[in-house]
Structure 1
Amino acid sequence: MVLQSTDGGFTKAELLKSSSSRKRRKKKKESIFRSLIRPVEQKSGNNRHSKFYGKRTKNTFKQFIKQNLKLQKDTVKGLKKLLKKDPKCLDKLKDLAELPLCSKILKFEDFQEINRLWNNYAKELIGTTDSITVMTSKLSTCEFIGAFVEVTHSGCINNIGQKGIIIWESQHNIIIVVPRAGGWRSDISVTNPKYSYSELIGGLRIINKEGTRFKFRVNVDSESPTSTEEPCYIEFEIIGDRLMVRSIDRANKKFKNHAVRDIEL
């Protein structure tokens, strides 16, 4: 005699059969996922940026900055040794970037397209308003990565007159790319301006916001001005002490128009 369940349940044989079928379906799903993952892994291995795969962007960028700053120091040392052997070796070159020693330094020209994109962004942000209050309120909360900036006042004398394009902004510092053999010395009336070795090679500069004032410039001309017209710019100065917040927090911050006593003029 065989007793069967009468309450709508399952027998032991049916339970074993269903559990084995679930295991087979699970293994089938795992095999499908593995087949999807393998091509991605093979593709990432052939990618030239595969060394950054699976790493945090913030840590990778910090490592990139440290490597470039170390490369600039090593390039300055190598340039000093080269000029000791042959003091007139730079006279034959039109551009210092032609030297193999300086070929890996970040170039200002490579970031000019980012500056053009930022200028269009700032021009669109300002719009057609003529109110200075509206302009300053919009520009104080905008993104500055890609802007061309000049340091007009700083607690560090070496930072005064530095000009370049911002490639990174943090809470306390900004990182800019400066042109080779450029800066405030070329703007003054000196017959033969003398540059330091670090000014000759250009590269990255880290500027502290505290006690620093920055001057920005926005080109408000049309995209195709005539050759006879001079470009029209709007210049504005920003106090670094009031920008010591993250850019993501500054977008929601309201700056009040009132007298501030702790600003050094």
Structure 2
Amino acid sequence: MSEEELYSKLPKAIQNAAGTQKLDSDLKFIEELAKSSLPKSKSSEVEAELKRSFPLLKFHVSDKKQFPRKKKKPLSMREKRQLGLHKLNKKDMKYEEFEELHSLWTEYIKKYLNLKDLDNKGFTAEPESGNWTHFSHLLSKADFHGALMKVVRSKCSSLVGQSGIVIFDTRNTFKIISKDNIVRTIPKQSSVFAVSVDNYTFTIFGKYFCIKPPERSVKKIRTHILADL
């Protein structure tokens, strides 16, 4: 739309009062507009400000297009086996190196089971005592990496009496390192374990722990179990 067409829609009285002005460029229009809008004391600075250059503009980087991230698929069991994620390097392992892990686990299990509060309530860790159901559920979902375990019963007589710190908990086994610096694999299905924390000794029937640790933490455990070993 030309300037004459724009003003032609106004009444003639306003057209005559306003008049029309032809400008050489858009920059000239901006300059005249700024001068007419600003106080006279600032009008002298308009021309200088419009001539300023901005050298950093040539380094302006355009916004990169953001593409939706693809969700990475978890590793399959075959890929985990190929990478050796479930294998332990048993060479040069020392029992004393895992004693700190056991100390951390002891602090964790005390807070997780809230043993201090249970002591104040007179909890005896017997099935007849109060809070037993809640306590047993917590124990069944606990993480045992770092626990000091002892095999008290087993269908394999050579395993009875073996003890050590749990360094790896799998679906069907506990891998423990003993004071002789030997890593032993104890099957859960056929063994019963004892775990001591302060004045408490917990008996764990391995066959009810034949679940992967991440799954055990969310799986509902049966309240009534048969201790048949």
Place the TM-score, normalised by the shorter chain, in its bin.
Answer: 0.5 to 0.7
5+ long unaligned stretches in structure 2: 1-60, 65-78, 124-130
The aligned residue for residue 168 of structure 2 is 168
Q: Please, which of 147, 162, 184 is the counterpart of residue 205 of structure 1? A: 184
SS in 2 for 1:217: strand
| Displacement of 1:56 | 5.7
RMSD, aligned α-carbons: 2.5
The aligned residue for residue 154 of structure 1 is 154
* 1:243 has 2:209 as partner: yes
| Displacement of 1:107 | 1.4
5+ long unaligned stretches in structure 1: 1-24, 30-54, 72-103, 181-201, 220-232
| CA contact 2:151–2:193 (8 Å) conserved in 1 | yes
Report the Cα distance in structure 2 between the residues aligned to 1:249 and 1:110, rounded to whole angstroms: 28
| Displacement of 1:57 | 9.0
| Displacement of 1:171 | 0.5
Q: Which has the larger radius of gyration?
A: 2
Report the Cα distance in structure 1 between the residues aligned to 2:96 and 2:216, rounded to whole angstroms: 29
With over 3 angstroms needed to count, the CA separation of the structure-2 counterparts of 1:60 and 1:139, relative to structure 1, is same
SS in 2 for 1:119: helix
Q: How does 1:65-144 map to 2 (within 5 A)?
A: 65=89, 68=90, 104=92, 106-127=93-114, 128-129=117-118, 130=123, 131-144=131-144
Report the Cα distance in structure 2 between the residues aligned to 1:165 and 1:259, rounded to whole angstroms: 26
| CA contact 1:211–1:264 (8 Å) conserved in 2 | no
Report the Cα distance in structure 2 between the residues aligned to 1:258 and 1:176, rounded to whole angstroms: 28
Report the Cα distance in structure 1 between the residues aligned to 2:172 and 2:87, rounded to whole angstroms: 18
Report the Cα distance in structure 2 between the residues aligned to 1:108 and 1:150, rounded to whole angstroms: 15
Report the Cα distance in structure 2 between the residues aligned to 1:252 and 1:120, rounded to whole angstroms: 22
User: Which amino acid counterpart does residue 203 of structure 1 have in structure 2?
Assistant: I
* 1:264 has 2:203 as partner: no
Report the Cα distance in structure 2 between the residues aligned to 1:118 and 1:112, rounded to whole angstroms: 10
User: Which amino acid counterpart does residue 164 of structure 1 have in structure 2?
Assistant: G
Runs of 4 or more off by more than 3 Å in structure 1?
A: 55-65
| Displacement of 1:59 | 3.3
SS in 1 for 2:88: helix
Percentage of pairs with the same residue: 26
Q: Aligned pair count?
A: 141
Report the Cα distance in structure 2 between the residues aligned to 1:64 and 1:253, rounded to whole angstroms: 27
State the TM-score, normalized to the length of structure 2.
0.56
State the TM-score, normalized to the length of structure 1.
0.48
| Displacement of 1:158 | 1.4
User: Which amino acid counterpart does residue 109 of structure 2 have in structure 1?
Assistant: A
With a CA cutoff of 8 Å and minimum separation of 6, indicate the structure with the bigger relative contact order.
1
Q: Deviations over 1:214-251 (max 9, x none)?
A: 111112xxxxxxxxxxxxx2111111110111111111
User: Which amino acid counterpart does residue 222 of structure 2 have in structure 1?
Assistant: K
With over 3 angstroms needed to count, the CA separation of the structure-2 counterparts of 1:264 and 1:170, relative to structure 1, is same
| CA contact 2:141–2:217 (8 Å) conserved in 1 | yes
* 1:253 has 2:219 as partner: yes
